[in-house]
Amino acid sequence: MAFNPEPDCTALIVVDVQNDFCHEDGALAKLGKSVGKTRSILPNIETLISYAKMVSVPVLFVVTHHDPVTDSPAWTSRQMYNKNQIICLTGSWGAESYLLDRKDADYMVIKNRYSGFYGTNLDLILRSLGRNRLLICGFTTNVCVESTVRDANSLDYFAAVVSDCAAASTEQEHISGLYNIEKYFGYLTSLTDVKHFWNI
C-alpha cells in the first residue's frame, strides 16, 4: 500500500525542534554531537509546515522537557546523560523552539521520553481530530523520530517520515533510522512528494 496523506485524515508532527538539539550552543553540541545537519534542514521543515497550513492539515509540535520529577534512575543512568547538562530542562532556553514559531503549532505536546506517544495525550488528540495518517519530521531520525513512528505503528496509525525534513547527528545514524522505519514501522516520503500530492 502506498502512503497517501489525504489532507482530511492527515496530521503533521514536528519532533524536537529545540535549541538543545539544534543550536551550536545547545546541550547536544556540548556533549560532542554534531548539530550541523539538524540546523541545515530547518528551511525544509518550515516549508513543510507552510504546506500543511495551505491544505488545513493540523500541525502538532512535540517537544521534550526534562526535570527531576520525570528523570528516573533508569533514565539518568544512560550513557549520554549528564547531570550538569540536562537536555531540554523544563523552563530553560534549551527547551525553547529553535527558529520555529510555536504559534505555527495548532497543538503542543510535551513528552518526557523519546516517543511522542509515551505518557502524552498525542494519541487522544489525533483520534479526536480523526487523523490516522501522520507525516513526521524533526530530530533525531534514529531516536525520537523513529521511536514515535514505532509507537504510531503499534497504535495502528499510517506514519511516514519526510526524509529530507529529518536529521541525526551523523549521516549513518540518519540512514539507519530511515532504513528501520521503512523496513518495519512506516513509510518514507519527501518534501517534493508531499508538495505534489497536495497539489501545491
Please name which of 97, 22, 31 lies closest in space to residue 63, comparing C-alpha atoms: 97
Please name which of 22, 167, 4, 169 lies closest in space to residue 87, comparing C-alpha atoms: 22
Q: Is 88 a catalytic residue?
A: no
Average pLDDT of the segment spanning 158-178? 97
Q: What residue type is 15 in one-letter code? A: V
**What is the number of domains present in the chain?**
1
- Flag whether 90 is in a domain: no
Set of cell numbers at residue 160: 511516514
Q: Is 111 a catalytic residue?
A: yes
pLDDT tops 70 at residue 79 = no
Instruction: Please report which confidence band the pLDDT of residue 39 belongs to, taking 50, 70 and 90 as the band edges.
Output: confident
Instruction: Please report which confidence band the pLDDT of residue 81 belongs to, taking 50, 70 and 90 as the band edges.
Output: low
Evaluated on CA atoms 6, 166, 19, 78, the torsion sign reads positive
Q: Domain span at residue 65?
A: 8-17+35-71+104-197
Q: Is 8 a catalytic residue?
A: no
- Flag whether 135 is in a domain: yes
pLDDT attached to residue 11: 98
- Flag whether 83 is in a domain: no
- Flag whether 58 is in a domain: yes
Spacing of C-alpha 65 from chain mean position:
14
- Flag whether 161 is in a domain: yes
> Looking at 22, 88, 144, 165, which residue is catalytic?
144
- Flag whether 96 is in a domain: no
> Looking at 111, 137, 164, 165, which residue is catalytic?
111
The per-residue pLDDT for range 57-67, each reduced to its tens digit, is: 999 999 999 99
- Flag whether 192 is in a domain: yes
- Flag whether 78 is in a domain: no
Give, as one character, the DSSP assignment of residue 103.
G
**Model pTM?**
0.96
pLDDT tops 80 at residue 139 = yes
Q: For position 53, which CATH number holds? A: 3.40.50.850
Please name which of 4, 80, 151, 165 lies closest in space to residue 181, comparing C-alpha atoms: 151
pLDDT attached to residue 150: 98
